[in-house]
Amino acid sequence: MIKDKTILDVCCGGKMFWFDKENPNVLFSDVRKEDHLFNDGHLLKVRPDVIADFRNLPFENEKFKLVVFDPPHVENLTESSIIRKKYGTLSFDWRTHIREGFNEAFRVLEPNGILIFKWNEVKIKVNDVLKLTDIQPLFGHRTSKSGNTIWLCFMKI
């Protein structure tokens, strides 16, 4: 049930970074529900609990203690792109979409709640993304061999 969930992942995709992909405290949401079989035999299942656009979430204000926001980070990929199948794609108007996503994530986050934001700078720098929200992160960490993946922690005060 939605009312029992305290954590929301608004772009869950294949739940790739979750240790427990069936965590009972998490409401997994994504704009798509689909399966992709890759050439190496790997099957990626995008199976959210709720199909919803992160720009217009169907949840009440201040519902969740923790929100995870890991939006697509590459623009306009083709339908056949492996990156698109795994992570989705940004639209031409990505700035508006990400701004609306931040607004929705903070709307459904309770006071003193935590937002974890993940971004990859393969095409768009995180500093350009941070201009899309008035709330600044508390701290962050770069990961991956190239250091292009950035995890940021925000708190709604």
Per-residue model confidence as pLDDT tens for the chain (157 residues): 677 899 999 999 999 899 999 999 999 999 999 887 877 887 888 999 999 999 999 999 999 999 999 999 877 777 777 777 777 788 879 999 999 999 999 999 999 999 999 999 988 999 999 999 999 999 999 987 788 999 999 999 9
Structural domain boundaries in the chain? 2-155
Burial, 77: exposed, middle or buried (Cβ in 10 Å; 0-12, 13-18, 19+)? middle
DSSP conformation class of 137: P
Residue 17 CA to residue 23 CA, distance in Å, equals 12
Q: What global pTM score does this model have?
A: 0.91
The pLDDT assigned to 18 comes to 96
The arrangement of secondary structure in 2-155, i.e. its CATH architecture, is: 3-Layer(aba) Sandwich (3.40)
Model pLDDT, residue 74: 79
| Strand segments (E) across 3-155 | 7-9, 26-30, 34-37, 43-46, 50-51, 64-69, 109-120, 139-143, 149-155
Instruction: Note the helical H segments in the chain.
Output: 82-87, 94-108, 126-130
Cα angle 51, 9, 27 (rounded to 5 degrees) comes to 65
Residue 113, amino acid: G
